[in-house]
């Protein structure tokens, strides 16, 4: 699964994290899937890339991934919790 977020950047799923490669740096959202639950537990965006929407893009991608794969979401990452608080329309898939 691949999501193009800008002309030059895409979110890539490598099997245990969603990644954006930009300006020779990596932003990521780590996850694990257990018992049909997508556990989002760690996010990182390099300081020089912060404020560019990478964290939001990664989280949105993960939420869409969960919906498309029939998974519930466990928000064990502060960034994911904050995103869902701002976007409560996604709370229906959280546990």
The pLDDT tens digits for 55-66 are 999 999 999 999
Q: Which H/E stretch holds residue 75?
A: strand 72-75
Task: Kindly give the pairing relationship between strand 37-44 and strand 72-75.
Answer: parallel
* pLDDT level of residue 67 (50, 70, 90 thresholds): very high
* Domain CATH code at residue 74: 3.40.630.30
Distances (CA, A) of 53 to 35, 59, 79: 30, 10, 12
Q: What is the mean pLDDT of residues 25-54?
A: 96
- Domain extent for 69: 2-93
Rounded CA gap, 8 and 4, in Å?
A: 8
What is the predicted pLDDT for the residue at 10?
A: 80
The pLDDT tens digits for 4-27 are 555 556 888 888 999 999 889 999
Q: How many separate domains does the chain show?
A: 1
What is the predicted pLDDT for the residue at 4?
A: 58
């Amino acid at each position: 699964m691949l999501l193009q977020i800008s002309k030059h950047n895409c979110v890539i799923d490598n099997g245990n994290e969603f990644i954006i490669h930009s300006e020779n740096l990596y932003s990521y959202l780590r996850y694990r899937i257990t018992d049909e639950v997508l556990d989002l537990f760690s996010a990182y965006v390099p300081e020089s890339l912060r404020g560019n929407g990478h964290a939001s893009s990664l989280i949105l991608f993960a939420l869409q991934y969960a919906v498309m794969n029939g998974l519930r979401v466990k928000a064990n990452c502060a960034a994911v919790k904050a995103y869902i608080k701002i976007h409560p329309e996604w709370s229906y898939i959280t546990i």
